[in-house]
């Protein structure tokens, strides 16, 4: 397997591009001890019209909101962060990539849970990320229902994409992969379907597309929103509603969505086949529309593609530390 970081030379740190190897942190950084970070995952596509970042302003807005929950002031405006993402992609000369802005509490000569005296650091990295759930994922993956519940909405807010939330995600993922599944679907604290360790979930039942509401401890996924809008465009009825576990075994179609996972069909849950055990018609129609938009073959009617812009000369763009 090729290394996703091959050829990646620059990482953006607090306003400047620094060498990949120098993008390190102090071991006493608050985030390492207490999970005090928020982040984004964004994809840049090599479209027919040039490199473009999918729904970049929406991702940056969510990052700002994630930080707001934990009272982490970011000393860059949304516009500056948008430009910083593009600058990082251009500097690394990647026609398509995955972008990871990370905001966290660093080392501030104090220790203890209280984060308020620790400096807020901002990094942006990017790399090549292929199929998140395996090369065969497009024909459907096998999932289990996790024995771990998603974090209750009044324990840790799922709407904030915080690094600490991913300890719960790791329990879900580790259990799934060690038992031979690609992913685990977690139930929320009340026992309704919530989401995967890194994906939202959708099901098709009698021609209607269903997805759990935000109250089911789900991340407000940008791919989730994209799929809802595509479905409406295609005339497919969509509803957000609480989904009892049993429906996972009886629905006609099931798929997961996420920036990394894009749209991944599910072919079985706890070894019970979903529908015919292969991607269903509505799933395939939505996948085709999504692919068409991100490749630039279908008109970007919602204005989702943010052009990275022309590559600027390295000397002007890059300041080495």
Quick one: how far is CA 47 from the chain centroid?
20
Confirm whether 161 is a catalytic residue.
yes
Q: Does 224 engage in binding with ligand PPE (CB under 6 A)?
A: yes
Structure tokens at 218: 């789900």
Residue nearest to ligand PPE (CB): 41
**Cβ(115)–Cβ(34) under 8 Å?**
yes
281-295 helix and 222-233 helix, angle to the nearest 10 degrees = 110
Residue matched to tokens 């593009």:
86
Among residues 106, 258, 275, 279, which is the contact residue for ligand PPE, using CB under 6 A?
A: 258
Q: Does 283 engage in binding with ligand PPE (CB under 6 A)?
A: no
Beta bridge partners of residue 53, listed in sequence order: 44, 306
Structure tokens at 280: 């269903």
Q: Does 159 engage in binding with ligand PPE (CB under 6 A)?
A: no
Among residues 66, 88, 200, 264, which is the contact residue for ligand PPE, using CB under 6 A?
A: 200
Binding to ligand PPE, residues 5-34 (CB under 6 A): none
Q: Does 157 engage in binding with ligand PPE (CB under 6 A)?
A: no
Question: Half-sphere exposure (CA, 13 Å, Cβ side) for 220?
Answer: 13
Q: How many residues bind ligand PPE (CB under 6 A)?
A: 16
Closest by CA to 260, choosing from 316, 182, 321, 152, is: 182
- How far apart CA 196 and CA 290 sit, in angstroms, is 20
Name the one range near ligand PPE by CB under 6 A: 19-27, 70-78, 257-265, 300-308: 257-265
- How far apart CA 230 and CA 302 sit, in angstroms, is 10
- How far apart CA 293 and CA 49 sit, in angstroms, is 11
Among residues 146, 217, 223, 264, which is the contact residue for ligand PPE, using CB under 6 A?
A: 223
Name the one range near ligand PPE by CB under 6 A: 182-190, 255-263, 267-275, 294-302: 255-263
Name the one range near ligand PPE by CB under 6 A: 45-53, 86-94, 202-210, 222-230: 222-230
Q: Of the residues 13, 22, 68, 161, which is catalytic?
A: 161
Name the one range near ligand PPE by CB under 6 A: 72-80, 82-90, 109-117, 191-199: 191-199
Closest by CA to 100, choosing from 183, 37, 147, is: 37
Smallest distance, Å, CB 276 to ligand PPE?
A: 26
Q: Does 222 engage in binding with ligand PPE (CB under 6 A)?
A: yes
Catalytic residues: 161
Contacts to ligand PPE by CB under 6 A: 41, 169, 195, 198-200, 219, 221-224, 257-261
């Amino acid at each position: 397997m090729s290394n996703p970081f091959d050829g990646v030379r620059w990482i953006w740190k607090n306003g400047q591009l620094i060498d990949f190897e120098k993008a390190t942190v102090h071991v006493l950084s608050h985030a390492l001890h207490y999970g005090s970070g928020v982040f984004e995952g964004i994809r840049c596509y090599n479209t027919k019209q040039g490199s473009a970042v999918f729904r970049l302003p929406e991702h940056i807005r969510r990052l700002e909101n994630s930080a707001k929950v934990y009272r982490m002031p970011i000393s860059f405006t949304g516009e500056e962060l948008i430009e910083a993402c593009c600058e990082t992609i251009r500097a690394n000369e990647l026609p398509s990539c995955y972008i990871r802005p990370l905001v966290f509490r660093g080392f501030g000569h104090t220790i203890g849970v209280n984060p308020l005296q620790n400096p807020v650091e901002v990094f942006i990295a990017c790399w090549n990320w292929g199929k998140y759930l395996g090369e065969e994922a497009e024909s459907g993956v096998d999932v289990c229902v996790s024995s771990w519940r998603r974090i209750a909405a009044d324990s840790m807010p799922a709407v904030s994409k915080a690094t600490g939330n991913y300890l719960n995600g790791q329990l879900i993922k580790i259990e799934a992969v060690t038992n031979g599944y690609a992913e685990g679907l977690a139930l929320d604290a009340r026992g309704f379907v919530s989401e995967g360790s890194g994906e939202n979930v959708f099901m098709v039942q009698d021609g209607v597309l269903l997805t759990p509401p935000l109250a089911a401890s789900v991340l407000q996924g940008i791919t989730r929103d994209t799929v809802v809008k595509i479905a409406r465009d295609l005339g497919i009825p969509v509803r957000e509603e609480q989904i009892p576990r049993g429906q996972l075994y009886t629905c006609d179609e099931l798929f997961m969505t996420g920036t990394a996972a894009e749209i991944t069909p599910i072919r079985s849950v706890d070894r019970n086949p979903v529908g015919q055990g292969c991607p269903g018609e509505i799933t395939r129609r939505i996948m085709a529309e999504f692919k068409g938009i991100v490749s630039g073959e279908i008109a970007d009617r919602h204005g989702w593609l943010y052009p990275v812009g022309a590559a600027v000369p390295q000397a002007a763009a890059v300041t080495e530390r």
